[in-house]
Structure 1
Amino acid sequence: MAAEISTPSVRNTLVFDIETIPDVAGGRRIYGLGDGDDQGVAELLQHQRRIETQGATEFMRPHLHRVIAISALWWHGEQVKLSSFGAAEDTEARLVAAFFQFIERHAPQLVSWNGAAFDLPVLHYRALLHGIPAARYWEQGQHDQSYRWNNYLSRYHERHLDLMDVLSGFQGRNVVRLQEMALLLGLPGKLGMSGGEVWTRYQAGETAAIRQYCEVDVLNTALIHLRFELTRGHLDAATYAARQEQLRSHLVQRDEAHLAEFLALWPENLPHVQG
């Protein structure tokens, strides 16, 4: 079960993001809410969360989020590919299974923004709910000793690199939203919608648009990741520029409206890059 770890010379990195909606079916079971309409159940779940947090937030805990999109950018050798797992009409179980099957086959380094606090815990609970096997992901050295020192679960290991967590110095008071970090660096940021609109857009049947929104979040995260690799000496300025150009070329070839919009807002030369 040995796996190759990403290095500057050999890329096997999956930058990922998820989009979720309230798990109204789970909420009904947990709180005995009966057969109320989905919107009403979602509002009750949000109200319950406001009570739990004394009004601080209505954002539900990870186990009450249902996954409707998982998007990723895969750097593999000299190839790069942006995609969303499965199809827009796929069940949650199929999407989550596809994500963990990818890890099983390719053992990539995972890169996220706030993935340790949100995306991965959500995926943990949903995999548990659907009975989805993920042996390589959960490996911590029981069968492969290399995972003892570098696995997906340990906060300070790099098989999963949560950029928000690392850049904050692992201090919650220092964390930054993806949108703010992207705009600070001169990147396009979010396009077309915000996370708070996902539930409404899903109810309107706009799952394809949600997947596109998720892909844009992945692109912002991927470009922040390249910048991070530059600052910590894993990329020199020339390689940093070359990888950006590689990604730009991939997006041009895709010829999709949301990617064209991202390209139009992505500066050819980001500021403050030292040679």
Structure 2
Amino acid sequence: MNTLVFDIETVPDIAGGRRLYGLDGLDDAAAGEALFKLRRQETGGSDFIRHSLQRVVCISIVLRSRDGVKVWSLGDENASEAELITRFYQGLERFNPTLVSWNGSGFDLPVLHYRALLHGISAPLYWDQGEINREAKFNNYLGRFHARHTDVMDVLAGYQARAVQPLDQVATLLGFPGKMGMDGGQVWPTFLAGGLDKIRQYCETDVLNTYLVWLRFQQMRGQLDAAQLTTELSMVEATLSASEQPHLHEFLAQWQAASAAMPATDPPLNAPIISL
């Protein structure tokens, strides 16, 4: 079975905001600030923009297939939102994978739903709940308790909102790098400054953290034994080491440093095998 771990990064949908709220005459930065202010007024404090007004600017993937492990961001920096989302759903059609995310049920997938609706993107396999494949009635991407999509955050929290934890903290506790120089709050100003390349790099490190936490979760639930976990971790290390991308080498270096600082376990769970 192929496993596809994904993460998205978004910015305010300025064009949509102008249509809904009459923000014509404002530049993108001012229109974005207006959307944040309107949202704070709606919520009484939070400026987290509604899912339907989150414009997707990056989708990063870790794909574990029989060919190994691959990490990348869909499209290039010039790709439109419609192209990114189309590529995502085409990947599901091609690989028929198990989807893995961190807060995908609460954020990433609903955003993709609304934005795919906006762009008229068809994704029959994803939406199938038994109409095409009878087995999908009992195991599909939309069922919260189904295995076709595992929101690791949601599962570890026991589906209780008050038990939800941030990926950065969980990854760091497990001896993985966690956040590397950026967080979600910096995506919009970085985008305005023309730093989409930095956003894509950040998203790729986030999805790598998710995949590493997923591997530990797979061990916890008995799907990987200690030797298999070591093999899977080594495969990730080899992928990062062979990459020509500096941010992936930095991720490996920080992983090595974080693992070295962890209390000793017998056998060690996370220690990288490959040296830079």
TM-score (norm 2): 0.93
**8 Å CA contact retained: 1:111, 1:163:** yes
Partner of 1:117: 106
Partner of 2:91: 102
SS in 2 for 1:111: strand
1:58 maps onto 2:47 in alignment: yes
Partner of 2:271: none
Question: 1-side partners of 2:264 and 2:136: how far apart?
Answer: 37
Question: 2-side partners of 1:154 and 1:274: how far apart?
Answer: 37
Question: 2-side partners of 1:61 and 1:181: how far apart?
Answer: 26
Partner of 1:9: none
Partner of 1:3: none
SS in 1 for 2:48: coil
Residues 195-216 of structure 1, C-alpha deviation per residue, up to 9 Å, x if partnerless?
A: 1111111111111111000000
1:205-244 equivalent positions in 2, closer than 5 A: 205-244=194-233
Question: 2-side partners of 1:240 and 1:273: how far apart?
Answer: 14
Question: 2-side partners of 1:148 and 1:39: how far apart?
Answer: 45
1:134 maps onto 2:153 in alignment: no
Partner of 1:35: 25
1:18 maps onto 2:18 in alignment: no
Question: 2-side partners of 1:120 and 1:20: how far apart?
Answer: 12
Partner of 1:149: 138
- Given candidates 49, 54, 71, the residue that maps to 2:60 is 71
Measured after TM superposition, the shift of residue 83 of structure 1 is 0.7
Mean CA deviation greater in 263-272 or 148-157: 263-272
Question: 1-side partners of 2:67 and 2:122: how far apart?
Answer: 30
Going from structure 1 to structure 2, the CA distance change for 1:138 and 1:249 (only over 3 Å counts) comes to same
Measured after TM superposition, the shift of residue 85 of structure 1 is 0.4
TM-score (norm 1): 0.93
Going from structure 1 to structure 2, the CA distance change for 1:128 and 1:271 (only over 3 Å counts) comes to farther
Residue type of the alignment partner of 2:10: T
Residue type of the alignment partner of 1:124: H
Residue type of the alignment partner of 1:28: R
Question: 2-side partners of 1:243 and 1:189: how far apart?
Answer: 19
Measured after TM superposition, the shift of residue 190 of structure 1 is 1.2
**8 Å CA contact retained: 1:237, 1:274:** no
Residue type of the alignment partner of 2:20: I
Unaligned residue ranges in structure 2 (runs of 5+) = 268-276
- Given candidates 147, 151, 155, the residue that maps to 1:166 is 155
- How many residue pairs end up in the alignment? 264
Partner of 1:86: 75
Question: 2-side partners of 1:64 and 1:84: how far apart?
Answer: 22
SS in 1 for 2:5: strand
Residue type of the alignment partner of 1:218: V
Residues 160-215 of structure 1, C-alpha deviation per residue, up to 9 Å, x if partnerless?
A: 10000000000000000111111111111111211111111111111111100000
Going from structure 1 to structure 2, the CA distance change for 1:119 and 1:272 (only over 3 Å counts) comes to farther
Question: 2-side partners of 1:274 and 1:75: how far apart?
Answer: 27
Question: 1-side partners of 2:63 and 2:264: how far apart?
Answer: 26
SS in 2 for 1:60: coil
- Given candidates 166, 183, 188, the residue that maps to 2:177 is 188
SS in 2 for 1:143: coil
Measured after TM superposition, the shift of residue 54 of structure 1 is 1.1
